[in-house]
Structure 1
């Protein structure tokens, strides 16, 4: 009952301020103030204020909020463990094996295409083909770039 009275008083004060603002020829601001002033009365009429007052003083409601918080924490913790690579050892081994199989063919291919030679006109007339096992081989860099989608 007190909450409804306070909301009604706040709305009446807001409507009074809106009237003074409209008297000063600031109609847009007055309309905005009146809209804000009508919100508390609307909440009282809809029963939201009574529901909130009953909920705020109910131990059962607070216990329910605690249970909801615990459920949210469990959900967040399981998501965090899942993202860090959680799961069974067998699942992790299978995932690593699949990743090795996926990366191996792209890592062993030469960086310049089949045979390590490209278009000689694009490279230049003095360029010579490189060996695929030379230290200048960029296949490992190419594999990393492919892994990241570049």
Structure 2
């Protein structure tokens, strides 16, 4: 009951200020002030103020907010741990015998590797040949 009285008084004061502003020929500002002044009155008339007052003084409502806070903390902690591990590995195991949509060896033929885990064989030649082009560039620039 007190909250409704306060909101009604604020609305009445706001409408009074809007009337004074309109008397000073500042109609746009008066309209804006009147709009802000009518918001608390509308909240009282819809019952939102009573619902808010009941929620603010209800221990069950505060316990519910506490449960929501704990759920949010748990969710954010699990997301942080998941990101540090690098994805969802270890959270859900796939059944044996079932292949994933993208196997790690799927790109092996594109890389020129015949088998999974096979390393390409080095080209035959002396190790000095590998750096000959670098030496040519350095000599070209006078280094």
- Would the TM-score normalized by the shorter structure come out above 0.5? yes
Residue of structure 1 equivalent to 2:87: 85
Residue of structure 1 equivalent to 2:72: 72
- Partners of 2:25 and 2:130 in 1: CA distance: 81
- Partners of 1:135 and 1:27 in 2: CA distance: 83
Residue of structure 1 equivalent to 2:6: 6
TM-align CA RMSD = 3.2
Matched residues, number: 111
Residue of structure 1 equivalent to 2:135: none
Moved over 6 A (4+): none
Residue 42 of structure 1, CA deviation: 0.4
- Give unmatched runs, 5+ long, in structure 1: 110-131, 137-150
Residue 2 of structure 1, CA deviation: 0.8
Residue 86 of structure 1, CA deviation: 4.5
Residue 106 of structure 1, CA deviation: 5.2
Residues 49, 108 of structure 1: alpha-carbon distance in 2 compared, 3 angstrom cutoff:
same
CA offsets, 1:87-129, max 9 Å, x none?
A: 32996xx99x944x356555559xxxxxxxxxxxxxxxxxxxx
- Partners of 2:32 and 2:42 in 1: CA distance: 16
Residue of structure 2 equivalent to 1:127: none
Within 5 Å, give how 1:31-70 maps onto structure 2.
31-70=31-70
- Partners of 1:6 and 1:98 in 2: CA distance: 66
- Partners of 1:72 and 1:90 in 2: CA distance: 22
Instruction: Tell me the TM-score normalized by structure 2.
Output: 0.63
- Give unmatched runs, 5+ long, in structure 2: 94-98, 114-121, 124-128, 132-143
SS at match of 2:25: coil
